[in-house]
Structure 1
Amino acid sequence: MKNNKDLLNNKKIWSRRSTILPEFVGTTVRIYNGKNHIRCKITEEKVGHKFGEFAMTRKRRVQAKTTAPVRPVKPGKKAGKK
């Protein structure tokens, strides 16, 4: 018969609000983020936290740095005033 660790390994978890128990340490679980399952290795530091903390539901948005376009100053006018 399989032991408890083998039953928990690669287990799919839909309940993001469930608490991680010490029995999960050393296993890999797959946590649902609303679109697909994210693989997560359970360590001692994660015990007591919720599964949902380790599978982000939103994509990370990287903001591109844009520079403001430089308008040439016409002769005879002061810069910054219209």
Structure 2
Amino acid sequence: MARSLKKGPFCDDHLMKKIEAQAGTSNKKVIQTWSRRSTIFPSFIGLTIGVYNGKVHVPVYVTEDMVGHKLGEFAPTRTFHGHGKDKKATTGDTAASTSTTSAATASAAPAAPAAAPAAK
């Protein structure tokens, strides 16, 4: 459910203080934050913010397209390791299956090309 328009966007006060302090200097250090719930404002553009994902701070370089989104959207918290493998295929003898497939391809390779249709 979206946030009410009369409330306006949310950003943690401690993060805004860090952003404002960095805006006054030419030094562009990574700002570390645990506030994944904060909305990205236009004043964040061009800064690098280290967003905590539960393990490490993921550096997020803020661009114009990110304004209005939450910081947590750009620091995934879960690592995808792929779907489960087919247990039936892995339990069989792989050496026997590879030898039969290589023999099948070897016998199919010298086949003659298809004849072209005759012209009338």
TM-score normalized by the length of structure 1: 0.69
Q: 2:62 aligns with which of 32, 42, 57?
A: 42
Separation in 1 of the partners of 2:68 and 2:81? 29
Q: What's the RMSD between the two structures over aligned residues?
A: 2.5
**Deviations 1:22-71, CA, capped at 9 Å, x for gaps:** 0110111100011110011100110000000000111112126436346x
In structure 2, do the counterparts of structure 1 residues 20 and 40 end up closer, same or farther at CA, with 3 Å as the change threshold? same
Separation in 2 of the partners of 1:5 and 1:42? 17
Q: 1:10 aligns with which of 24, 30, 35?
A: 30
Structure 2: which 5+ residue stretches go unaligned?
A: 1-20, 93-120
Which protein shows a greater Rg?
2
In structure 2, do the counterparts of structure 1 residues 44 and 57 end up closer, same or farther at CA, with 3 Å as the change threshold? same
Separation in 2 of the partners of 1:41 and 1:60? 23
Runs of 4+ deviating beyond 2 Å: 5-9, 63-70
Paired residues of 1:5 and 1:24 also in contact (CA < 8 A): no
Separation in 2 of the partners of 1:40 and 1:28? 5
In structure 2, do the counterparts of structure 1 residues 66 and 3 end up closer, same or farther at CA, with 3 Å as the change threshold? closer
Percent identical residues: 42
Structure 1: which 5+ residue stretches go unaligned?
A: 71-82
TM-score normalized by the length of structure 2: 0.49
